[in-house]
Structure 1
Amino acid sequence: MEQHGKRLLLVEDDQGLREVLTEELQERGFQVKAYADMPSVAELSEIDWALLDLRVGSENGLELLKDLKTRHPQVKVVMMSGFGSVASAVKAMQLGAHNFIAKPVTVEMILRAFSDQAENMELPEEEISLARMEREYIDYVLQSSEGNITQAAKKLGLHRQSLQRKLRKNIPRK
C-alpha cells in the first residue's frame, strides 16, 4: 500500500500510545499531526487519513468524525477503541468511518484498517468480535464501579436486570 507522504491526523488521549504510534507511522513515511484532545475541525486542513479514538477524555470521537466527514469528505477515517460497543462501531460506519478497530492496536492493524484491498489483507492472529468488545467494555465499567452492578448498569444506560442477563449469558466457559 502506498503511504509515503500521507498526511495522517491522530487523536489519542493516551500519551504513551500516541507517542509510539506517531513515531512508528513517521518511520513508515507518514506526516503525523497528533493531538491529545479533540482538535477544532477548522484547524484540520490538508490531511488524507485520520485515526480517531472513540473516547478522548470526556469527549466523543464520533462528533469529530461527523464534523470531519462533513468538512473533508475525502478523508479516510478509522476509529479505534478499547471500550467500543456494537452500537458505537455501527454508528461510526454510518457516519462515514472507513473502518473500526479494537485496541490494543499495532501499526500493521492500522494500515490494514485503512486498506481498500481487503482480499490482500492478512488476518490478525485473533479476530476480535463485536460481542467480545461489548463484554470487555462491560467488564471495564464493572471494574470501575468496583463490582456494583446497579452503578455499572447506570453508567452503561441499561436496566440492572438487563445487565445481569448479559453477564449470565456471557459467562466464560472453561
Structure 2
Amino acid sequence: MSQLDESSPEDQLDSEMSEWERDALKRMENKFSLSPEEESPYKELELIHKDVIRGSHFLAYRNQDAQQPIVMYSEKNRFRAVISMLVGSWAADLELLLNLILKAEQDSLDAYEEDELDTFGIRVNEDSYVVGYLTGGSSPIVASKDLLLRILEFYLEAWKNLPPADVPSLQSCQDTIARIRKRLESHEKSD
C-alpha cells in the first residue's frame, strides 16, 4: 500500500495545496472564528483581567451588581461550574475559604472547620481538590491543586482592578495562597 493511501483526506488535501493556499485558508479560518472576548456573554461589561490557564482563555469583567462585583468567563465548559461556584458563593468568604484550605493542607482542621469547609463544597485530597460534591444534579469536579489555585489567583488579580480595592483582604488572600503553594511544594519534596 502506498503512503498516499494511508493518509487521511485532510492530509491529502493539505499536501496538494501550495503554501500560499494553506496560509490563505488559515487566514480565512481565523477571520471567521470568534475570539474569547467576542464569545463571552459579558462582552458588554468592562473587561478587567484576562489570562490563559491550561490552554483556556479566562476573562473577568466588572459587574454592576455590588453583591457580585466580578463575573468570569472561560471558553471551556469544564471550567464553568468552578467559575460559577467561585463568583456565586466563594467570593463573599474567599479569605475564610483559603484559610480552611491551608489548614486542611496542614492537616490541622478541627471538626467545626471540617464542617465549614464542607459548606463550600470542597474536599481536600492528597493530590487534588474535589469541588462541587455537595451540589445536586451534577458530578463533582476533581481538579488538580495547581489548577484550582491558578483560578483563584486569577480572580484575585481581577479583584485588584476594582475600585476601591479591599487591599487588606486582598493581600491576606494572596498571602494565604502563597502559603498553600509553599506547603504543597514542601510536601512534594518530602515524597
Which structure has the greater CA radius of gyration?
2
Higher percent of residues as helix: 2
TM over 0.5, shorter chain: no
TM-score range relative to shorter protein? under 0.3
What is the TM-score with the length of structure 2 in the denominator? 0.24
What is the TM-score with the length of structure 1 in the denominator? 0.26
